[in-house]
Amino acid sequence: MSDASVEPAVLPAGGQVRPIVRWGAEVMHRTQEPVTEFDDDLRALVADMAATMYAAEGVGLAACQIGVDRSVFVFDCPDADGVHRRGVVCNPQLFLPVGRTRELDDDDEGCLSLPGAFVSCARPSYARVEGQDLDGSPVSHAGTGLLARCLQHETDHCHGTVFGDRLNRRVRKRLFKLAEAAAEEYGSEWPA
């Protein structure tokens, strides 16, 4: 397995910025199809995902967020030490600490598919994701801080979960009120 801390991954460049799909769209709420072809079409998709993530000033983006039913995400995110990690993970599997080694980080979280809204969401402070890279080779990324949150959030997308599913009803209601208040800033074609 390669490790992002050994050699930082480079995200494919030259992609087109696409509109971000919003919560409620069917593709956002189902388990994504596994990536089985590691070809030029996948590279083009990932380049579009990276371009869209950067245009939206995000730290991660899953394929479903641009309307594509594939289990893949990109990220460019700082860890707890402020070191930027970036990568592509196809068919991600998440590994979280259990028992005494598990500590929760109750910090604000948002989603590019519900832009302009952030609420507190408790997640484990460390996460590791294993999957495949753009060539189909095994890859592993792990970290703490915002990176841990990002790896969990994007893996959730690949499994049909939006972070609002992890919130109680009261907090979820506040999240949607915040998103509604910011809606005028984010048109249907945002960030394209």
Sign of the alpha-carbon dihedral angle for 143, 46, 178, 173: negative
Distance CA 189, CA 144 (A): 33
Hey, is 124 helix, strand or coil? Answer: strand
- CATH code for the domain in which residue 144 is found: 3.90.45.10
| pLDDT range class, residue 6, cuts 50, 70, 90 | very low
- State pTM to two decimals: 0.93
**137 occurs within a structural domain:** yes
Say which of 154, 180, 184, 185 is annotated catalytic: 154
**189 occurs within a structural domain:** no
Looking up tokens 């809204």 gives 117
Other CB atoms closer than 10 Å to residue 24's CB: what's the count? Answer: 10
What pLDDT does 5 receive? 42
More confident: 192 or 110 = 110
Q: What digits encode the pLDDT tens for the residues 35-80?
A: 999 999 999 999 999 999 999 999 999 999 999 999 999 999 999 9
Whether 2 has a pLDDT exceeding 60, the answer reads no
Whose CA is closest to 71, among 45, 49, 92? Answer: 92
What pLDDT does 8 receive? 57
**77 occurs within a structural domain:** yes
Q: Beta partners for 76? A: 86
Burial of residue 151 (number of CB atoms within 10 Å: 0-12, 13-18, 19+): buried
Number of domain units in the chain: 1
Rg of the Cα trace of the chain?
A: 16
Per the annotation, the verdict on 154 as an active-site residue is yes
Other CB atoms closer than 10 Å to residue 184's CB: what's the count? Answer: 8
**59 occurs within a structural domain:** yes
**50 occurs within a structural domain:** yes
What residue spans of the chain are helical by DSSP H?
40-55, 145-158, 169-182
Domain, as residue range, for 73: 10-182
Distance CA 189, CA 20 (A): 7
1-5, 23-27, 52-56, 93-97: lowest mean pLDDT where? 1-5
**48 occurs within a structural domain:** yes
Q: What digits encode the pLDDT tens for the residues 77-129?
A: 999 999 999 999 999 999 999 988 899 999 999 999 999 999 999 999 999 99
Q: What digits encode the pLDDT tens for the residues 144-159?
A: 999 999 999 999 999 9
